[in-house]
Structure 1
Amino acid sequence: MDQTSSTDKTKEASFGLPGLKIANASSASLDKAIVYLEKHAASQSDTATVDHALLVRKIDRHIAPIALAAYTLQLLDKLDLNYAAVMGLNKDLKLAGNDFNNAASWMYIANLIAEFPTGYIVQKVRPGKWLGFNIILWGVVTACTAAVTNYRGLVATRVVIGILEAATAPCLMLITAEGMWYTKSEAILRFAIWYGGLGTAQMLGSLISWGFQQVTHEALSGWRIMFLALGCVTAVAGVWALFSMPDSPMEASWLTETEKRVAIQRVAINQTGIKNTHFKWRHLQELVLDPQIWLLTSAVVLTSLTSGVVSFYSTTLIRNFGFSAVRSALLNMPSGAVSLLSCLVTAYFGHKYDNRALGQAFLAGVYLVNMETVTLFLVFCLTTANVAGQTKRVAANALISGAFSVGNIIGPQLFKPKDAPQYIPAKIILLVTQIVTAMITTALRVYYGWQNSKRDVAEKRERERADVKVEDIANIEWLNRADISSLLNRFPNRRCSNRPRK
């Protein structure tokens, strides 16, 4: 006999399927989370036994280490070319003129092209598995770089690595996004953990380069051994991600059924959904017409120009001051510390005051090259926080990642060999782009404030109408609606996350 109280049944019913007739939605539009909740009913008393703080820590233990490792290794596989340049790669491969710059740019050209199909694939497949599969393959290709003997071989390996690494940022943004595992207030700190892999990679890369410069071998140069070792480590990490990275709360084997329900219910407030494989062309149309997307994209392109300094020329620039190759590698470590600490500090204040866009405007104007990573990190946060609808979200993630590639394609080309050792034209361009980025992010802050004001007025007007009922929009968070053209605009519970929700 069913012993569930009528009160529990009433509360449980609030998690039921929404009225499809009212929402004008098909079953394909429903998020997988609400379908799971319907199939795995549990009483309110069962879910009440789950400690939310302990649950979040459990989620962190299974996601954060893999995410940090994946992003750190991706950046190491980019930075290894930077360190190899002072370890004899240019001489061994007989690179001349702009060959090194072109090899760096070709990786990002391939990455840019691959981002667009990746955006579609990530929505259709299990993101954790897709991430692990790609990490394994790019680890193998990185190891194969040790066998390269000329410019063409170097370009070929960089192109393949660029294609395979295209999955990393979109997968991590989707998995750690507010909506799948974390609330808005929690997500920014989790983003900082894995995005801090950039600074971690810079520091580790400096030590790794220094270490392999001490290695002497008759058959293999130090830089070749470095590529071989990093490739093997990356492939092992890929196997770890393949079998351990969860794809969604519904598919996490280390959560009990009750914990899965609580994990889903606690993020419903984000109103961005968890998982939906239904591709919607309407979401892409809205993406194209969304001003915030183009402001964010422009900021990423301009800011990423400085990544040419961080990723490919920082060690070379240091060496041009007269330091040896070994000491140049070690002197590059503080830049990684600046990147990591600025990211963590920004995440802390962003979490405390929930004012991400304003923080960008300030930091973008500071001419500290390694602090440009903060702007990129905040753009990732804003994208996942303010973009709803699964197709629009994955497409936006791919577009932002593609914008990062555009900046990195252009960046290395700014440092012409003829301008060495001061590279004055490149430095002037980078300074101007940082000023323009500050202007763009300020405009973004103004746009979010304007949007919130509009939604405040619309919400007040709609609530005053007698025919609007709260139950009409029940479970709207699971309808796979985009953030502009959806019912969220008609009855706006979501707010652009440049300020706290009141």
Structure 2
Amino acid sequence: MTNASDAAGDEKTKTANEKAMAGSETDTTSPASPTVRTEHEDDLDDAFKYLHDHSNAESTSIDLAALRRKIDWRIVPIMFVCYVLQFVDKVVINYAAVMGINKDLALTKNNFTNVGSAFFIAYLIAEVPTGESTSSHGANKVLTHILQDISSRNFHLESGWALTCLSGESVAQRPQEQPTITLFSPHYYTKSEQAPRFAIWYSGLGFGQIIGGLISFAFQHVTNKHFKSWQAMFVFVGIATSLVGMATFFILPDSPMKAKWLSEPEKAALLKYVSINQTGIQNKNFKMRQALEVLADPQLWLLTICTICISVSSGVITTYSATLIQSFGFTPKRTALLNMPSGLVSIAAALIVGFGVRKSESRWAWLVLCCIPGMIGGGLMSFMPASNRAGLLAGIYLVNAITGTLTVIYQWTMANVSGHTKRSVAAALIAGSFSIGNIIGPQTFQARDAPRYYPANIAVMSTQAGGAVVAIVLFGYYVWANNQKDKRQAVEEGLSSSAGNEKILWENLTDKENPNFRYVY
């Protein structure tokens, strides 16, 4: 899928990867390997145990480029489809707003705003057990369960209260999807390779916007008095999501070690290849110490603040973009179609940033760059005259460039957090931060501010600027943290003392505990 980009690679990762693979060849050739310490064996990564148990697998002859292509076509498409459907399910409430749901369910004043927030309040609450359930039960089982539960809410709604409750009930399952998908990529790709793959599956958000517009347009032609058009749309999306959920169970493995479509030599070659990430593959031991380290880690608090700032705009677009477009004087059918270009902007932003990170590694700069269109969009929505509908539409479309920033944040988190428990908790924390921003976003829309909703539009502009500032601070922190690690390591032991020791790559150490771990920025 991304062969040209992958072939380039960065020289630093390539060199380090060769060292890791060389270490693997020497450390796993015998069951009596000195790198396995019995007293810590239970806490070693399952990948290390697999390599130790399959030390006779001939992995040196495996073509890594061909293996990567094989993994791409097996993993990335289903992750993309999962993200498309979870976003379509989330955005149908946006389209339902112009299909008569407010009238049919007697939603008045700020009730619709509260429904949008209830969606993400449940999302936030359910983040607490997310990381542990993903780690304990297997990612493919969790993802299948989520997609099945998402589909269950789309069948029968008769009141605004029912809509609010069922939105919360189904979303209590959905928050596990984002961190679950996020945790998949590091199992199969190095840090620099992860960014374009994140971009591909996250561009499903844009495709979801386009498909959502088409679905809304199609179902607006349903005229049954007893089964409203928006109800039919909900049922259709629910059935599609359920079918994909069942397919996910059979397509996605819990880990590379359980991938039936990979041979034993291919599994061994892959595990050695991604060992350079120093973030591990699978370890089901929950370590409270690592969970508490999340609370004291400055990078995660900065990432949290950045995510909240940027996600305020996401909350605005997800819940109210159709309402805003309709307020410009368009019919419901034209509103559904005019919302579709937002998806094109989302797709372009995600792919440009994802492949840009692969080439340049400047994650912080790409994040700041994507905040600029969002700020411009917020400005157009706030200050463009009501008569200039083209300018107002351009503002809504530009705000969708935030998709690129979220692509960077999710990949940045997975690249810079190590330790299985810490990674799971961190993934849930960032997803929870996303929900906080999406709770705030709809609340900026108050009935008294209709039809232009100036406070909401200004909030979009200011929060995008805040996200850009935090990204720059985060860049400075990573530079400082790496310098501190370099100084400490030079004093204590030097890099050479552990560069060839494969065990340290799989020892379930956090990014702070591992002396060889370096942050990417």
Aligned counterpart in structure 1 of residue 184 of structure 2, from 148, 151, 175: 175
Q: Residue 399 of structure 1 corresponds to which residue in structure 2?
A: 429
- Contact residue 222 and residue 229 of structure 2 kept, 8 A: yes
Are residue 269 (structure 1) and residue 315 (structure 2) matched?
A: no
**Cα distance in 2 between the residues matched to 1:164 and 1:10:** 41
Q: Residue 45 of structure 2 corresponds to which residue in structure 1?
A: 31
Query: What are the Cα deviations for residues 5-45 of structure 1, in whole angstroms up to 9, with x where unaligned?
Result: xxx99974423666455xx96222100001111112225xx
**Cα distance in 2 between the residues matched to 1:108 and 1:10:** 46
Residues 358 and 153 from structure 1, CA distance in 2 versus in 1: closer, same or farther, beyond 3 angstroms?
same
Query: What are the Cα deviations for residues 210-234 of structure 1, in whole angstroms up to 9, with x where unaligned?
Result: 1111222243111111111110000
Q: Residue 475 of structure 2 corresponds to which residue in structure 1?
A: 445
Aligned counterpart in structure 2 of residue 478 of structure 1, from 491, 501, 506: 506
- Contact residue 68 and residue 195 of structure 1 kept, 8 A: yes
Query: What are the Cα deviations for residues 247-297 of structure 1, in whole angstroms up to 9, with x where unaligned?
Result: 111011111111111111110111111000011111112111110000000
Deviation at 1:424, TM superposition (A): 0.7
Are residue 320 (structure 1) and residue 327 (structure 2) matched?
A: yes
Structure 2 residues not aligned, in runs of 5+:
1-20, 376-397
**Cα distance in 1 between the residues matched to 2:173 and 2:254:** 19
**Cα distance in 2 between the residues matched to 1:480 and 1:315:** 46
Are residue 47 (structure 1) and residue 59 (structure 2) matched?
A: yes
Q: Residue 454 of structure 2 corresponds to which residue in structure 1?
A: 424
Q: Residue 3 of structure 1 corresponds to which residue in structure 2?
A: none
Are residue 126 (structure 1) and residue 138 (structure 2) matched?
A: yes
- Contact residue 114 and residue 163 of structure 1 kept, 8 A: yes
**Cα distance in 2 between the residues matched to 1:335 and 1:9:** 47
Query: What are the Cα deviations for residues 398-446 of structure 1, in whole angstroms up to 9, with x where unaligned?
Result: 0000000111111111101111111011112222211111111110011
Query: What are the Cα deviations for residues 450-486 of structure 1, in whole angstroms up to 9, with x where unaligned?
Result: 1222233334444569xx73378442111000111x2
Task: Indicate the larger mover: 405-414 or 8-17.
Answer: 8-17
**Cα distance in 1 between the residues matched to 2:132 and 2:72:** 27
Q: Residue 82 of structure 1 corresponds to which residue in structure 2?
A: 94
Equivalence map 1:61-210=2 (5 Å): 61-142=73-154, 144=155, 147-176=156-185, 178=186, 180-210=187-217
Residues 52 and 410 from structure 1, CA distance in 2 versus in 1: closer, same or farther, beyond 3 angstroms?
same
Task: Indicate the larger mover: 390-399 or 110-119.
Answer: 110-119
Task: Indicate the larger mover: 354-363 or 334-343.
Answer: 354-363
Task: Indicate the larger mover: 54-63 or 382-391.
Answer: 54-63
- Contact residue 27 and residue 501 of structure 2 kept, 8 A: no
Q: Residue 3 of structure 2 corresponds to which residue in structure 1?
A: none
Count of residue pairs the alignment pairs up: 475
SS of 2:222's equivalent? coil
**Cα distance in 1 between the residues matched to 2:109 and 2:200:** 39
**Cα distance in 2 between the residues matched to 1:61 and 1:42:** 28
Are residue 306 (structure 1) and residue 320 (structure 2) matched?
A: no
- Contact residue 297 and residue 400 of structure 1 kept, 8 A: yes
Deviation at 1:54, TM superposition (A): 1.2
SS of 2:99's equivalent? coil
SS of 1:86's equivalent? coil
Structure 1 residues not aligned, in runs of 5+:
1-7
- Contact residue 290 and residue 419 of structure 2 kept, 8 A: yes
Which amino acid in structure 2 is aligned with residue 69 of structure 1?
A: V
- Identity %, equivalent residues: 40
Residues 390 and 148 from structure 1, CA distance in 2 versus in 1: closer, same or farther, beyond 3 angstroms?
same
**Cα distance in 2 between the residues matched to 1:385 and 1:11:** 21
- Contact residue 129 and residue 243 of structure 1 kept, 8 A: no
Deviation at 1:330, TM superposition (A): 0.5
Q: Which structure 1 residue ranges, 4+ long, deviate > 4 Å from structure 2?
A: 8-11, 462-465
Deviation at 1:49, TM superposition (A): 2.6
Q: Residue 335 of structure 1 corresponds to which residue in structure 2?
A: 342
Q: Residue 4 of structure 1 corresponds to which residue in structure 2?
A: none
Query: What are the Cα deviations for residues 115-156 of structure 1, in whole angstroms up to 9, with x where unaligned?
Result: 1111111111111111012101211222x2xx2010111012
- Contact residue 115 and residue 167 of structure 2 kept, 8 A: yes
- Contact residue 192 and residue 377 of structure 1 kept, 8 A: yes
- Give the TM-score taking structure 1 as reference length: 0.91
SS of 2:510's equivalent? coil
